[in-house]
Structure 1
Amino acid sequence: MAWGRRTAEVEQAPKTFLGSVWETLKTIFWALLIAGIFRTLFFQPFWIPSGSMKDTLLIGDFLFVNKMAYGYSYASCPSIRIAAIGLDLDQEDFCGWLPWPEGRVLGSEPERGDVVVFRHPVTGVDFIKRLIGLPGDRVQMRDGRLWLNGEPVPLEPAGEFVEPYLPQGPQGLPPSCRGGPRRPGEPCISDRYIETLPNGRSYSVLDIGRSVADDTGVFTVPEGHYFFMGDNRDNSTDSRFPQSARGVGFVPAEDLVGRADRVMFSSAGRSMLAFWTWRGDRFFHPIR
């Protein structure tokens, strides 16, 4: 009888192991499903990869994008890009089959001055810029100064923004400096100004001198579209440049992902996992 019990136990062992594997797989499936729903409907993590929004946002800032701010479209669906393994899934891969209506579901209008994550109209890559022009607005740059609807936007000097001339972020790119490149470790200086939009929103912008986008024609924002600019005006590819694989052009309302309200934490190193490089003064830092 003892021998028979041992045989039964041995025969049941594989079933117990397979059952454990199945339970683990189910747990992982439901965890990913819940995380996907949370990311699609509520908040999306975003890590700042470039310096186009300095000094409002720094390379290595980590934040969550509020997707409830403007309602939902196909751009609210998650995207997964892991270059190391060649994985490139965008919103259309996940949700392109759904019969999305024109515009946005439960939509609300963004406000001028919001810092917004949006899907690039050509490449599908997520960008983050400041909303400058609403539908019907006339936007122009004259001698490096922003004009809205025929009026100059108030601009006040606010000192300098200084950072070391060193490689930044995972791409290892050095910052742009007034007067051109510096030797490694030397101060990299940009002129800093406070810009105030007609609705009273104020924020800092950086300038390092003359650039190709300091003087433009008049951009009239079409209905259902928006005009975006980076706060680092001489180091931002934005709506001042024609829509292409690099230029943004006018951004359709359905490409808005959400609003950025607060930096959660920030890493000055090559990886956000390098906790010894985290910037202590940027924990829960509000985005103006």
Structure 2
Amino acid sequence: MATAKKEDTLGENIKTIVYALLIAGVVRTLFFQPFWIPSGSMKNTLLIGDFMFVNKMAYGYSRHSCPWSICPISGRIFGEEPERGDIIVFKHPVTNVDFIKRLVGLPGDRVQMREGILYINDVAAPQEDQGVFVEAMAQQGPMRHTPRCSNRVVGEGADCEKQLAIETLPGGVEHAVLNIGDSFADNTPAYTVPDGKYFFVGDNRDNSGDSRIPVSANGVGFVPFENLIGRADRVIFSSAGARIMYFWTWRKDRFFKALK
């Protein structure tokens, strides 16, 4: 009798685990996908170590909605067009790696960078100077990246500065952008966004591989609609440390922080 009870208990435990995994898989596929920020390309909107759940219902579903892009979907179903200014997780068109950037160019738009200023349909997106963004020169996140600074080489623990501005996109979306210095991506050709594709740029303009660089291992180019995974709306948790259990590195002021 004892052996039978143990077998029944083991069987129930296995069922519970299987059901939990199935529910988690459905939630991750249809509703929300967890996402950690691994790099500084979206500072200061997103910091290395920010954690969020990406809203996968925002733009409908494609084959990339499933882990490893295995959904048996051709094109996109229940699709909703993204809006300019959305912060979006998408699959890189070549490497299939998850990226997160800000959408600035819609199909048919003419997008160009001139001397570090974003132009959309030949109209500058105005920037209002906000002084400097300051962070410590220190290793950040599990990959131990160190930030780039506009005040050149600084020692460990010293202030690392970047120029901070508020940019206003057509339609009125306002968001922070950073400038480190002159960069090859400060001046680009004029790109006309094809139908069914989108143009993305990182908020940390001089530290972002994005649509300003033609599609390659280093550049994103135009991103097809089916590659969009979901919209990032809010930071849930944030840690500056190499391990999540290092509670002294938690950024409590970023818990449940809304994004814009």
Task: Please say whether Structure 1 and Structure 2 have the same fold, judged by a TM-score greater than 0.5.
Answer: yes
Match of 1:271 among 240, 243, 246: 243
Q: Which residue does the alignment assign to 1:114?
A: 86
Match of 2:65 among 56, 76, 89: 76
Counterpart-to-counterpart distance in 1, 2:89 and 2:51: 13
Match of 2:191 among 219, 223, 227: 219
Deviation at 1:18, TM superposition (A): 2.8
Q: Which amino acid aligns with 1:91?
A: S
Whose Rg is larger?
A: 1
Q: Which residue does the alignment assign to 1:146?
A: 118
Counterpart-to-counterpart distance in 1, 2:103 and 2:141: 25
Deviation at 1:23, TM superposition (A): 1.6
Q: Give the secondary structure class of the aligned counterpart of 2:130.
A: strand
Counterpart-to-counterpart distance in 2, 1:207 and 1:248: 20
Counterpart-to-counterpart distance in 2, 1:64 and 1:105: 21
Structure 1 residues 48-80: Cα deviation after superposition (integer angstroms, max 9, x where no partner): 1100000000111111111111111111113xx
Q: Is 1:105 equivalent to 2:77 in the alignment?
A: yes
Q: Which amino acid aligns with 2:9?
A: S
The correspondence of residues 36-75 of structure 1 with structure 2, limited to 5 A, is: 36-75=25-64
Unaligned runs of 5+ in 2: none
Counterpart-to-counterpart distance in 1, 2:137 and 2:4: 61
Q: Which amino acid aligns with 2:242?
A: R
Deviation at 1:169, TM superposition (A): 0.6
- Choose 273-282 or 229-238, whichever is displaced more: 273-282
Counterpart-to-counterpart distance in 1, 2:82 and 2:143: 31
Counterpart-to-counterpart distance in 1, 2:56 and 2:137: 35
TM-score using structure 1 length: 0.88
- Choose 59-68 or 16-25, whichever is displaced more: 16-25
RMSD: 1.1
The correspondence of residues 73-222 of structure 1 with structure 2, limited to 5 A, is: 73-78=62-67, 90-92=68-70, 95=71, 98=72, 100-102=73-75, 104-222=76-194
Counterpart-to-counterpart distance in 1, 2:244 and 2:227: 27
Unaligned runs of 5+ in 1: 1-11, 79-89
TM-score using structure 2 length: 0.97
Structure 1 residues 209-257: Cα deviation after superposition (integer angstroms, max 9, x where no partner): 1011111101111100000000000000111112112211110000101
Give the number of equivalent residue pairs: 260
Q: Percent identity?
A: 60
Q: Which amino acid aligns with 1:40?
A: T
Q: Is 1:284 equivalent to 2:256 in the alignment?
A: yes
Deviation at 1:33, TM superposition (A): 0.3
